[in-house]
Structure 1
Amino acid sequence: MPTTIEDPSIRQHKPHWLTTVGVTLATLLFGGATLTQTAPGQMTGMRWQALNPSLYVYHCGTPPVPQHVANVLYGVILVEPAEGLSPVDREFYVMQGEFYTAGKLGDAGFQAFSMEKLLAERPDYSVFNGAVGALTGPRALRANVGEKVRIFFDVGGPNVTSSRRVIGEIFDAIHPEGASEALRHVQPTLVPAGGATIVELTLQVPGTYLLVDHSLSRLVKGAVGELVVEGADAAEIYGKSPGM
């Protein structure tokens, strides 16, 4: 499985023209795949206009599509409204994906791809940002008490729907599947395969918070990150009961 994945995110204001190679979006015929099928040694491209503000996952459209998506041929495009998004102190991008290997969970060394496990939807790894441990320890997300944070939660797939949660926090607002209208005061939120959701939260208590897919067996497979929040204790909000 890969040890590093380059940031595959694109951010634009609408309306905006982009020239790309192999990007797929819902408003294009077959997501643009018909214009970007490319033979070895050749290059193709297309122009498309970002008209609808939202958060979109793009992925490969060349058969066998599930195998290519399982090998991380995906990313995310944020199309902001003309006036931009509301200001926050920090923004983070967290993309979930799966790996289907011929070996077992935790086997060392190169792992060959398993089509059998892919078709049975039995991933060996479910990870954030491309690797086990990509958002833990020295790579953890970091913020401070009192800051407002926006997280772009995305699922590349190819198969899993994710129950995203920051354990110990409540989302002030979520934009499910990139919707313009927000829901308020939500704990976990579903993010479908090939989908994306925007969440916002205000950090009031210091500590290390876990970002998880609350289908918790996936935590063991790698779907866990850390949000380290630094600042003064907030005993008026959280602490031991008096006398205990």
Structure 2
Amino acid sequence: FVYHCAPEGMIPWHVVSGMHGTVMVLPREGLKDGDGKPLYYDKIFYIGENDLYVPKDENGKYRTYDSVAESYADTMEVMRKLIPTHVVFEGRAGALTGKNALTAKVGETVMIVHSEANRDTRPHLIGGHGDYVWETGKFSNPPQKDLETWLVRGGSAGAALYTFREPGIYAYVNHNLIEA
């Protein structure tokens, strides 16, 4: 489930300001494949994807404000154009790189939970794929298998299991590359 606060007239502004999150409830009896066999994982990575709409001044530079409330009207105007100024993981560019990179060892199985509160997104693990994928986040549905790229609809969360088979650097991206 994707959750967010719901103040009248301000829901879109709150959501694009990063005021949302995800809750996924795992089945009490554990995860199962399409044949009912148990699936296991060693760790979970959460990826919160955000589309941000930052106003610019007449010279094309990003505007600054003394308070968040002062930015409301300008931010709403940028949002109405439906073209984000930034699409990021964890609220900022490069948030999951360098010392903040997510790590796994060869042989480890990782569950990747991915949410986007507004827009559809196409998670893709460069160097891997989703061994088992729940695009809609509903674990009582049988998972899809062996997806290179999967779809997480705006306002929802999905999950994928992947077992790392080789050492190396794996890049996790939104494969809507026109926005890269």
Which runs of structure 2 are paired with 1:37-48 in the superposition (5 Å)? none
Give the corresponding residue for 1:89.
42
C-alpha distance in 2 between matches for 1:136 and 1:166: 14
Q: Counterpart of 1:197 in structure 2: which amino acid?
A: G
Evaluate the alpha carbon distance shift between residue 107 and residue 209 of structure 1 in structure 2; reply closer, same or farther with a 3 A threshold.
farther
Separation in structure 2 between the aligned mates of residue 217 and residue 65 of structure 1, nearest angstrom: 27
Q: How many residues align?
A: 161
Give runs of aligned pairs for residues 103-114 of structure 1, distance below 5 A: 103=56, 110=64, 112=71, 114=75
Q: Distance in 1 between matches of 2:178 and 2:102?
A: 22
| Distance in 2 of aligned mates of 1:211 and 1:92 | 11
The residue identity in structure 1 corresponding to 2:6 is G
Q: 1:80 — aligned with what?
A: 26
Instruction: Compute the displacement of 1:110 (Å).
Output: 3.9
Superposition deviation, residue 217 in structure 1: 3.5
Q: Distance in 2 between matches of 1:214 and 1:58?
A: 24
TM-score in terms of structure 2 length = 0.82
Aligned partners of 1:190 and 1:217: how far apart in 2? 16
Counterpart-to-counterpart distance in 1, 2:113 and 2:164: 16
Higher strand share: 1
Secondary structure of 1:58's aligned partner: strand
Look up the equivalent residue of 1:139 and give its one-letter code: N
Partner in structure 2 of residue 169 of structure 1? 128
Aligned Cα root-mean-square deviation (Å)? 2.0
Unpaired runs of 5+ residues, structure 2, are: 32-38, 66-70
TM-superposed CA distance for 1:142, in Å, is 0.4
> Residues 13 and 75 of structure 2 are in contact (CA less than 8 Å); yes or no, is this contact kept in structure 1?
no
- Counterpart Cα distance in 2 of 1:208 and 1:151: 16
Secondary structure (helix, strand or coil) at the match of 1:208 reads: coil
Q: In structure 1, what is the equivalent of residue 5 of structure 2?
A: 60
The partner residue of 2:104 within 143, 148, 161 is 143
SS of residue in 2 equivalent to 1:206: coil
Q: State the structure with bigger RCO (CA 8 A, min sep 6), 1 or 2.
A: 2
**Rounded Cα–Cα distance in structure 2 between residues aligned with 1:128 and 1:110:** 22
Which letter maps to 1:174? V
Q: Distance in 1 between matches of 2:148 and 2:167?
A: 18
- Cα displacement string for residues 42-101 of structure 1 (whole angstroms, at most 9, x for unaligned residues): xxxxxxxxxxxxxx1111222221111111111011212222444311210001111101
- Give the equivalent residue in structure 2 for 1:37: none
Higher mean Cα deviation, 165-174 or 80-89?
80-89
Alpha-carbon spacing, 1:136–1:148, altered in 2? closer, same or farther (3 Å): same
TM-score by length of 1: 0.61
Q: C-alpha offsets along residues 208-229 of structure 1, whole Å, 9 cap, x if unaligned? A: 111111111333xxxxxxxxxx
For 1:163 and 1:115, locate their aligned partners in 2 and report how far apart those are by CA, in whole Å. Answer: 25
Identity of aligned residues (%): 33
